[in-house]
Amino acid sequence: KCYYPMSDLSTRDIKFLPGVGPKKAELFNKELKIFSFEDLLYYFPYKYIDRSRTYKIKEIDGNMPYIQLRGEILNFETQGEGKGRRLIARFSDGTGIIELVWFKGIKFIIEKYKPGIEYTLFGKPTRFGSKFNIAHPEIDPIDDIIDKAPGLQAYYSTTEKMKSHFLNSKAIQKIMYNLWKSINGPLPETLPAQVIARSQVIYLTEAIQNIHFPQSPDLLRKAQFRLKFEELFYLQLNILRFTRQRQKKLGGFRFDHIGDYFNNFYHQCLPFELTNAQKRVLREIRADVGSGKQMNRLLQGDVGSGKTLVALMSMLMAVDNGFQACLMAPTEILASQHYESISELVAPIGIHVELLTGSTRKKERERIHEGLLTGDVNLIIGTHALIEDTVLFSNLGLVVIDEQHRFGVEQRARLWKKNNRPPHILVMTATPIPRTLAMTVYGDLDVSVIDELPPGRKPIQTIHQYDNKRGALYASIRKQIEMDRQIYIVYPLIQESERSDLKNLEDGFKHIQEVFPEFKVCMVHGKMKPAEKDAEMQKFVSGEAHIMVATTVIEVGVNVPNASVMIIENAERFGLSQLHQLRGRVGRGADQSYCILMTSHKLSQETRKRLEIMVRTNDGFEISEADLQLRGPGDMEGTQQSGIAFDLKIANIAKDGQILQLARDIANEILDKDPELSLTENYVLNRQLQKIFKKKINWSLIS
C-alpha cells in the first residue's frame, strides 16, 4: 500500500496533486491559505446535500425540494430573442420527460453537455401549467465520486475568483477525491488510544473520509463529532497544561482561618441576607484561598447581583489572616462609590480603609503610601493609581479587580508583583461570558457565577420605540421626573474622537434642555477632562440634575438607585452586551424602571433580532449566549486577545458546548495522571500540541 506519513502530507505541495498544477495551486494558496496536501485534507465542507435518493421523473409532483435525477438529454432548443433568450433541453429517464431551462451561459452549456450521455442532474422542479421544468440544474457525468460516495454530497466554500477559474465546490470535491485516492491508506492517528476509547470517537482515517465523502448520515455525524472533539480537546489540553504548570510554580498564601473581622461583619454589619449564589461563591473563594495555591478566579455576575459584597467579604478573609487587600476599579467615580459604600459597611468593625485615585492630593497620597507600607491600611480601594510603582504594600494578600475587561492584561499583571509571592486574584465582570467561551478564552481562570439577583428587584421593562413617537415618550419622562425619578439619555459614540458623534451628543443635549426647560440637565462624555466629568457626574449622583445626557462612559458601575429610566438613542448602533450593560444602570432601586430603545424604522434583520432579545429578557447570560450566536465568537469582548481559540476549523464554541465539556474533562483526567505528558502512551499528545501550537502565542500564561 502506498502510504504517506502525515508529516509528509504537510510538506507536499498542493501543486503536485492531479488536477491542480501551479496556476490553481496559487489560487488555493492565496484564496484559501491551502498549501499542502494536509491543508487540503483539513479543508472541510460547509454543508451536505442528500443525494442518497434518485427520483424518477414520473414521481415529480407539486412541491419538491432539490431532487436528483438520472438520465440523458434528448435535444437542445433555444427560444426567444435578446433578453428573453433561453435554452431548453428535454431530459428523459425512461419514465417521463422534463424540461431544463437556462437563461445564461447558453453557449457553454451546449458545448459541455451532449445528448445521449448519461448524467446525474440536481435541481428544484417548478410547475408550469401541467408541466414541470428545472431552471439551471447542476449536471454531472456519472463518475467515480457519485458512484463511490452516494448519499450526502459535500459542498466546499470557494471565492468568486476561484470560481472564475473553474474552482467551484464540485472541482474541489474532485481534487479532494484525487487526494484521498492517492493517499490510499490509513492516516497516522492523531489521538492516543485511551482518548479514543474514553471519548468513543471514530478513528481519524474514517473521520476524514466521511467528512468529505459521507457514507451515511450516521457516519457523517460521527466524523463531525470526532473532528470537533479533537479540535477542542487539544485546545483544552494546551490551556490546562499551562494552568497546572502555573499553579504548581505559584504557591499562594494560605488564609487558614476565618477570623473576627469576617465573623463580626457577617453577624453584625450585613444589612441583608446573602443570596444563595453569593454564599456559594464565597465558599468557592474560601476553598481557593485556603488551599495553599494562588487563586486566579473570575467572578461573573449580572449587574446588580451583588459582586461588591462578595469582594468585600473575601477581602475580610485576607485581613483576618494578617494580609492587606486591594480593590481596583476602572474609573474614579466607581472607585469612590465603592469606597463610600464599603467604608460605611465596615465602620463598626474597625478596619482601616483608604481611597487612592489619580486625583488624590499629594500629601494625602504620601500618607496613604506610608500606611500601606507599614501595614496600617488594611483595605485600599482605587483606580489605576494602585498599580504605580510607588505604591508598596507591607503584605498584600488579595487583589480584586472590578470590571476586569476594562484593564489590559499588563496592568493586571503589575499587581502580581506587589508582594514576594503573587497575591490571590479575584477578577469581576458584569459582562457575562458564556461558559463555553470562558473555558476557552479564560481557560486558566476558575470561574464563579452569581446567577441570582437579590430579592425584591422589579425586572426592568424594556421597550423598543421608533423615533416618531418622541412626543409621547417625553410626556412620560416628564411624569417620571415629577415623581422625583432621574433619567439617563445615552448616545452612541463609537469612536470617542469622531466629531460628528460628539456633535450628535451636544445637539441632543441642547434639544433636551429646550424640551425640558424646567429641569436640570447635565452631560458627560469621554472627551471631557476627568475633573469636569466628575463634576457633571456628581450633579446626577447628588440628585441635583434630573436628566443626564451621556455617552457610554456611564456604562460601567455608576450607581444611582433613583434613576428609573434609561433611554438609548440609535440603539441599533450598540451591541447586545453593551445594551445590557447600559440597561443595568437602572433598576437599582425599589421603583419600576424602564429602558427605552430608540431607533428609526429602517433596521436590518439582525438588528431587529437584537432588539427583540433585549425586550424579551433581562437575563445577562441568555443575552450573551444570543450575542455569541448572532455575532460569532470572534467579535465577543475579550476574544481578540486570544486568537488561538477562534481559528477553529470545525468546532463552534457557541454550539458545541457539550463536546467542549467532554474534551475538557478528558484533558483534565489525562493531566491528573501525567501532568508533564511524559508517559509513552501520551507521546501523540505531545507531538500534536507542538504541531498545533507551534506558532501560537500562549495567552493563558499571562492573564
What does the binding site for ligand ADP look like in residue numbers (CB under 6 A)? 272, 274-275, 278, 301, 303-309, 430, 454, 559
Residue 307 CB, nearest distance to ligand ADP (Å)?
A: 3
Residue 264 CB, nearest distance to ligand ADP (Å)?
A: 18
Residue 575 CB, nearest distance to ligand ADP (Å)?
A: 19
Residue with cell 504541531: 691
If you compute the radius of gyration of the chain from its CA atoms, what whole number of angstroms results?
32
Q: Which is nearer to ligand ADP, 554 or 670 (CB)?
A: 554
* Residues 381, 360 contacting (CB under 8 angstroms): no
What does DSSP assign to residue 36? B
The b/e string for 507-535 (b: 16+ C-beta within 10 A; e otherwise) is ebbeebeeebeebebbbbbeebeeeebbe
| Residues in Cβ contact with 419 at an 8 Å cutoff, skipping those fewer than 6 apart | 393, 395, 396, 397
User: Within the chain, what is the greatest distance between any pair of CA atoms?
Assistant: 99
Q: Which is nearer to ligand ADP, 433 or 692 (CB)?
A: 433
- Copy the grid coordinates of residue 85: 433568450
70 bridge partner residues: 120
Residue 298 CB, nearest distance to ligand ADP (Å)?
A: 13
Q: Which is nearer to ligand ADP, 554 or 660 (CB)?
A: 554
**Using CA atoms, how far apart are residues 511 and 517, in angstroms rounded to an integer?**
10
The b/e string for 341-366 (b: 16+ C-beta within 10 A; e otherwise) is ebbebbeebebebbbbbeebeeeebe
| Residue (of 584, 593, 481) closest to 540 by Cα position | 481
* Residues 210, 149 contacting (CB under 8 angstroms): no
Q: Which is nearer to ligand ADP, 110 or 274 (CB)?
A: 274
Q: Which is nearer to ligand ADP, 38 or 555 (CB)?
A: 555
The b/e string for 633-654 (b: 16+ C-beta within 10 A; e otherwise) is beebbbbebbebbbebebbbbb
The three-state secondary structure class of 90 is strand
432 bridge partner residues: none
Residue 306 CB, nearest distance to ligand ADP (Å)?
A: 3
Residue 443 CB, nearest distance to ligand ADP (Å)?
A: 24
**Residue at shortest CB range from ligand ADP:** 306
Residue 314 CB, nearest distance to ligand ADP (Å)?
A: 13
| Residue (of 578, 570, 567) closest to 489 by Cα position | 567
**Using CA atoms, how far apart are residues 273 and 282, in angstroms rounded to an integer?**
13
282: phi then psi, degrees, rounded to nearest 5: -60, -35
Residue 629 CB, nearest distance to ligand ADP (Å)?
A: 25
Q: Name the strand (E) or helix (H) holding 87.
A: strand 86-92
Residue 270 CB, nearest distance to ligand ADP (Å)?
A: 8
Residue 656 CB, nearest distance to ligand ADP (Å)?
A: 30
Q: Which is nearer to ligand ADP, 17 or 400 (CB)?
A: 400
310 bridge partner residues: none
Q: Which is nearer to ligand ADP, 174 or 405 (CB)?
A: 405
Q: Which is nearer to ligand ADP, 209 or 308 (CB)?
A: 308
Residue 483 CB, nearest distance to ligand ADP (Å)?
A: 21
Q: Which is nearer to ligand ADP, 556 or 598 (CB)?
A: 556
Residue 558 CB, nearest distance to ligand ADP (Å)?
A: 10
- Copy the grid coordinates of residue 459: 425586572
Residue 550 CB, nearest distance to ligand ADP (Å)?
A: 18
**Using CA atoms, how far apart are residues 82 and 116, in angstroms rounded to an integer?**
29
* Residues 91, 73 contacting (CB under 8 angstroms): yes
Q: Which is nearer to ligand ADP, 241 or 588 (CB)?
A: 588
Q: Which is nearer to ligand ADP, 193 or 270 (CB)?
A: 270
Q: Which is nearer to ligand ADP, 267 or 363 (CB)?
A: 267
623: phi then psi, degrees, rounded to nearest 5: -65, -40
What does DSSP assign to residue 542? T
Q: Which is nearer to ligand ADP, 187 or 329 (CB)?
A: 329
Burial class (CB in 10 A: 0-12, 13-18, 19+), 65: exposed
Question: What angle (nearest 5°) sits at the alpha carbon of residue 55, between those of residues 54 and 59?
Answer: 170
Q: Which is nearer to ligand ADP, 187 or 430 (CB)?
A: 430
Q: Give CA torsion, residues 17, 19, 22, 25, to 10 deg.
A: -70
Sign of CA dihedral 565, 566, 568, 569: positive
Q: Which is nearer to ligand ADP, 224 or 337 (CB)?
A: 337
Residue 194 CB, nearest distance to ligand ADP (Å)?
A: 43
Residue 623 CB, nearest distance to ligand ADP (Å)?
A: 15
